[in-house]
Amino acid sequence: MKNKINKVQEAEDTEEIEDTEEIEEAEENEAKTYVSEEVKKRKVVVPGEVIVTGEDYLPSDGTKRVGKDILANRFGLAEEAGRVIRVLPITGAFMPRRGNTVLGRVTDITFHGWLVDIDSATSGFLPIEESPRFISKNEMDQFLAIGDVVAAKIMGVKAKGIDLTLKSKGLGKLENGFTFKVSPNRVPRVIGKEGSMINMIKEKTGCSISVGQNGWIWISGENIDNEIKARKAIDFITEKVHMEGLTDKVEEMLNGN
Amino acid sequence: MAMKSTNLTINTLKRMFKEGKRFDDRKLDEYRKIEVSYDVSNKAEGSARVKIGKTEVIVGIKLAPGTPYPDSLDKGNLMVSGDLLPLASPRFESGPPGFAAIELPRLIDRAIRESHIIELDKLVIKEGEKVWTVFIDIYPLNDDGNLIDAACIGATAALKKAKIPELNENGTADYEKKAKKELPISEGIEPLSISFFKLGDSIIMDPTREEEEACEARITFGLSKWKKQYMINSCQKSKEATFSSAEIEKMMEMLPKKFDHLNEKLKKFF
Amino acid sequence: MAIKRTDGRSLTELRPMIAKVGVIPNADGSAIFSFGDTVAIAAVYGPKQLHPQHMQDPATGILRCTYDLLSFSVHDRKKPGPSRRSQEISKVTEWALSPALDLQGFPNQVVDVQIYVIQADAGTRTAGINAASMALAHAGLPMKDLICSVACGKLDKDIVVDLNKDEEDFKDGEGATDFPLAKFATSDEFTLMQLDGKIQPERVKEVIEAATEACKEIYEVQKKALKEVVKH
């Protein structure tokens, strides 16, 4: 019984920290995907399309310069922020990047660490020394067993695999609740401006929620009804991502039964 | 390869089903919205597209003159095939068919064949020598669970709209000419596949992919109506978990109701 | 005098085109494209780990295409499973599309493109390439350009675009020449060339010009479909 109470306490602690973590994450995303003050124009472009013409512009992610033109190098939303031009993906598979927080499932334990499926092309590897505290080789499965779900951060993306770490705030094993997947490109919308969307869902449902950049989301609440409510709100956001007044609609949904 | 369901999710679903709850608010025995449309391919003698929620399957019927089987010289032939194309899901692999790809057309074959919806004895061109072969081909376009039930609706729908091509003088089919003659179908039989899925002690119907993956057993019944009576034409229990006699009885009670309910929903399409 | 096309089209007129992306929710990218009665659907999965391992290229990701006809897409039912024809078309499709892709950032990985013809009335490989090009873009992959494809040809002495099935079987005079082509949408680089029939070398220039014009129209249709993903 005592053990149980400790666990709950622990979970709450992590949740607290997680919150700040996600807001940081969200801000990062905001900067990437939503209209900030300095963003002038956004439009959907196809590969090869000329976005802007002029020597002053600087090609960034998803673009390249050909002569005076800046061309789209992928399909997505072209954004002009000052002189910087980039194309943000709006569809497609998760492309892992250093610094992404992801959720994954432990698939195997090796001598050196844990193999973690993070639903990307190459699997993740969590070296034993990247656990938040010292873990001896013979207690690895007590810390993380096959089938366990973890929130981890990508340290590096290599040809052969992705290196993960738990040495940061809000990372670690996720207990209770459930996981599900949304399109990774919808993650910024789920989080919302400065975490506004996800924080509203957390507030209204009382659930702990962890959102991975790979589109995997973990929800754990006091009771199933609240968990279902939170999940439905998130599913709604990802379905109606282009809807006007989405935040209000979601709020309405969460206020109702 | 897509990520497998986590134990957390499986345990949550188990708890939810126990309380009669689902993420999309459906009752445990409730199907998602079903839509049927026709004329997927004008090269087929009949074709249908079935959507159950996000699951989508297309079924085409082809007819070709062929030789009868030695044990049924006075009947046309039926052949059901299909493929789980890697187009439809990251879980479907290229190469030799896996078990699910073998099982799907076999289950539809039994449900359709044993219901006798196709009057095969009317498909004889020259007795003992030449008969029509009815080919049913099934292709999922998007797998979001419960493919077998969707495929069977597609097969029944496509059969109901199928036509028999004209014959050339040399005995081959003239596919260019617009076929007018309808495929001989026994009315009122409406074979359907009705599957039950089990997780823990709960039994659910029409699972999404997420739910289906968590389930520990499936039992599929081919059901039809024969002389105004409900008839089970085929059945298969799949996966390791077991069904108790009480559960089987419960399902027997549910089958006719579900059959009528589904047919009622499908009436506007058939 | 120029020949009359059976469906009343002018020599340079394409059949009506329909294009849509996002038709297979499970896929990372997907599209459907039709030229008249020819309908092709394509799904993209990846980048993902390439198996078997010995096929992996540590220098770059690779593209893998599968093209096939659904059994009921043609009058004489096609036996399920790859034929020599479909394997050849799969390979030339791969070569038609890969120059537009930049998969160097995905070593040892593969992008799988699945193309299936639902209804066939000539031009299935070109419809398939158009669908696949849109699906690859829809999958958000690094790409230089879209690929547009059309089957041009010659009926007796006339250069025509987008042959239908009747025209493929045209027998008069010099008969029918089927000349499927694919090219970059915004430059004059060609990525697919196949030919069946008889055509004088000096007339190929006309075919190239006709294809270039046709591809402009195809590009507009592809672009519009892709941009419709974001509805305002």
Q: At C60, which helix (H) or strand (E)?
A: none
**C91-101 mean pLDDT:** 98
CA distance, residue B145 to nearest chain C CA (Å): 12
Q: Six-digit token pair at A222?
A: 């006091």
Q: Residue C227: which of A44, A122, A123 has the nearest Cβ? A: A44
With a pLDDT cut of 90, the percent of chain C lying above it is 88
Search chain A and give the residue with CA nearest B15: A224
Q: Is the pLDDT of residue A8 over 70?
A: no
Higher pLDDT, C145 or B2: C145
Average pLDDT over residues A6-34: 39
Q: Report CB contact under 8 Å: B8, A224.
A: no
pLDDT in tens, B39-48: 999 999 999 9
pLDDT band of residue A40 (cuts 50, 70, 90) is low
pLDDT at position A245 is: 87
Q: Measured in whole angstroms, how far is the alpha carbon of residue B45 from the centre of its chain?
A: 18
Distance CA C207, CA C194 (A): 12
ipTM computed for the complex: 0.93
Furthest CA-CA distance within chain A: 70
How far apart are alpha carbons B94 and B81 in whole angstroms?
Answer: 17
Instruction: Tell if the CB–CB gap between B144 and C25 is shorter than 8 Å.
Output: yes
Which of B87, B136, B177 to mutate against chain C (most C CBs within 10 Å)?
B87
Spatial distance between the Cα atoms of C73 and A237, rounded to a whole number of angstroms: 38
Q: Which residues contact A151 (CB under 8 A, 6 or more apart)?
A: A18, A101, A102, A103, A170, A171, A172, A174, A210, A212, A218
Looking at residue C6, what is its pLDDT? 87
Question: Would the pLDDT of C2 be above 90?
Answer: no
From B242's Cα to the closest Cα of chain A, the distance in A is: 24
Query: Is the CB of A89 less than 8 angstroms away from the CB of C185?
Result: no
Give the Å distances, CA to CA, from C95 to C50, C65, C89. 18, 9, 10
Hey, is A224 helix, strand or coil? helix
The count of other CB atoms within 10 Å of the CB of residue A228 is 22
Residue B159: count of CB within 10 angstroms of its CB: 21
**Residues of chain A positioned with their CB less than 8 A from the CB of C215:** none
pLDDT tens digits for B117-145? 999 999 999 989 999 999 999 999 999 99
Please list every residue in chain C whose beta carbon sits closer than 8 Å to the beta carbon of residue B38: none
pLDDT at A148 over 80: yes
CA A132/CA A166 separation, integer angstroms = 6
pLDDT in tens, C191-207: 999 999 999 999 999 99
pLDDT confidence bin for B260, thresholds 50/70/90: very high
Contact assessment for residue C164 and residue C15, using Cβ atoms and an 8 Å cutoff: yes
- Please name the residue of chain B whose CA is at the shortest distance from the CA of residue C43: B87
Residue A4: the pLDDT is 39
Task: Give me the mean pLDDT over the A146-167 stretch.
Answer: 93
pLDDT bracket for residue A256 (50, 70, 90): confident
**CA pair distance B11, B15, nearest whole angstrom:** 6
| Residues B115 and B227 sit within 8 Å (Cβ to Cβ) | no
- List phi, psi (to 5°) of C130: -60, -45
- Residue A32: which pLDDT band, with cuts at 50, 70 and 90? very low
Q: Flag whether pLDDT at A41 surpasses 90.
A: no
Portion 101-140 of B in contact with C at CB < 8 A = 135, 137, 139
* C108-153 pLDDT, tens digit each: 999 999 999 999 999 999 999 999 999 999 999 999 999 999 999 9
Q: Is residue C200 part of a domain?
A: yes
Average pLDDT, chain A: 85
Q: What is the CATH number of the domain that holds C141?
A: 3.30.230.70
Q: Which of B152-161, B173-182, C50-59 has the lowest mean pLDDT?
A: C50-59
Question: Total structural domains in chain C?
Answer: 1
Indicate whether C1 belongs to any domain.
no
> Degrees (nearest 5) of the Cα angle B94, B99, B105?
95
pLDDT at residue B96, rounded to an integer? 82
For B63-106, what is each residue's pLDDT tens digit?
999 999 999 999 999 999 999 999 999 999 888 888 999 999 99
* Residue C196 DSSP class: B
3-class SS at A153?
Answer: strand
Residue with tokens 């074979």: B191
pLDDT tens-digit readout, A162-199: 999 999 988 999 999 999 999 999 999 999 989 999 99
Q: What angle do helix axes B245-266 and B147-161 make, rounded to 10 degrees? A: 40
**Which pLDDT score is estimated for A39?**
58
> How far apart are the CA of B9 and the nearest CA of chain A, in angstroms?
4
Using the Cβ of C48 and the Cβ atoms of chain B, whether some distance falls under 8 Å is answered with yes
Decide if pLDDT at B218 tops 60.
yes
d(CA B180, CA C135): 38
Domain that holds residue C120: 17-225
Q: A187: which chain C residues are within 8 Å (Cβ-Cβ)?
A: none
Task: Assign A257 a pLDDT band (cuts: 50, 70, 90).
Answer: low
Shortest alpha-carbon distance between residue A33 and chain C (Å): 14
Q: Which residues of B114-134 are buried (b: 16+ CB within 10 A; e: fewer)?
A: bbbbbebeebbeeeeeebbbb
Mean pLDDT of B153-163: 97
Whether pLDDT at A35 is above 60:
no
CA distance readout (Å), B164 to B62, B175, B257: 9, 9, 34
The 3-class secondary structure across chain B, one letter per residue, is CCCCCCHHHHHHHHHHHHCCCCCCCCCCCCCCCEEEEECCCCCCCEEEEEEECCEEEEEEEEEEEECCCCCCCCCCEEEEEECCCCCCCCCCCCCCCCHHHHHHHHHHHHHHHHHCCECHHHHEEECCCEEEEEEEEEEEEECCCCHHHHHHHHHHHHHHHCEECEECCCCCEECCCCCCEECCECCCCCCEEEEEEEECCEEEECCCHHHHHHCCEEEEEEEEEECCEEEEEEEEEECCCCCCHHHHHHHHHHHHHHHHHHHHHHCCCC
pLDDT over 60 at A90, yes or no: yes
Partner-chain contact A179 B16, CB within 8 Å: no
The larger pLDDT score, comparing residue B40 to residue C54, is at B40
Residue C36 to residue C20: CA distance in whole angstroms: 15
Touching A (3+ Cβ pairs <8 A), the chains are: B, C
Domain extents in chain B = 25-266
Structure tokens at B56: 């989508």
Q: State the Rg of chain A over Cα.
A: 20
Q: Is residue C108 domain-resident? A: yes
At A18, the pLDDT band (50, 70, 90 cuts) reads very low
Confidence check: pLDDT of A24 > 50 = no
Which of these, B90, B237, B260, B80, lies nearest to B152 by C-alpha position? B80
| Residue C6: inside a domain | no
Tell which residue, A207, A183, A222, has the closest CA to residue A91: A183
Q: Which two tokens stand for residue C165?
A: 């099935």
Percent of chain B residues topping a pLDDT of 90: 90
Q: Six-digit token pair at C207?
A: 């075919």
Query: Does the pLDDT of residue A65 top 70, yes or no?
Result: yes
- Would C141 be classed as within a structural domain? yes
Q: Which domains does chain A have, with CATH numbers?
A: 178-255 (3.30.1370.10)
pLDDT of B2 reads 60
Please report the pLDDT score of residue A161 as a whole number: 86
CA distance C46 to C137: 12
Q: Do B8 and A178 touch (CB under 8 A)?
A: yes
Alpha helix stretches (DSSP H) within chain C: 84-97, 124-138, 165-168, 204-227
CATH class of this structure's domain B25-266 = alpha beta
Verdict on whether the full-model pTM lies above 0.90: yes
Q: Which helix (DSSP H) or strand (DSSP E) does residue A200 occupy? A: helix A196-205
Q: Is B9 on the interface with A (CB under 8 A)?
A: yes
Q: From CA A36, how far away is CA A32, in angstroms rounded?
A: 9
Pairing mode, strands A124-127 and A162-165: parallel
Task: Sort out which chain A residues have CB atoms less than 8 A from B8's CB and list them.
Answer: 149, 174-179, 218
| Closest-CA residue to A48 (of C101, C225, C96) | C101
Q: Residue B8 and residue A177: Cβ atoms within 8 Å?
A: yes
Residue from B4, B8, B9 to probe the interface with A (highest A Cβ count within 10 Å): B8
